[in-house]
Amino acid sequence: MSKLRFAILVLAIGCSGSAVAQAAEQRGACKADYDKYCAGTLPGGGRVVACLNKQHQQLSDTCKQVLASRKKQ
Query: Which of the pair, 5 or 61, is modelled with greater confidence?
Result: 61
pLDDT tens-digit profile of 18-57? Answer: 455 555 666 688 999 999 999 999 988 889 889 999 999 9
- DSSP assignment of 18-72, as one string? S-HHHHHHHHHHTHHHHHHH-TTPPPSTTHHHHHHHHTGGGS-HHHHHHHHHHHH
Domain contains 43: yes
Domain containing 30 equals 21-71
Residue 5 domain-assigned (yes or no): no
Structural domain total, the chain? 1
Instruction: Calculate helix-pair angle for 47-54, 3-13, nearest 10 degrees.
Output: 80
In a domain, 33, yes or no: yes
- Looking at the domain assignment, is residue 7 inside a domain? no
2 falls within a domain: no
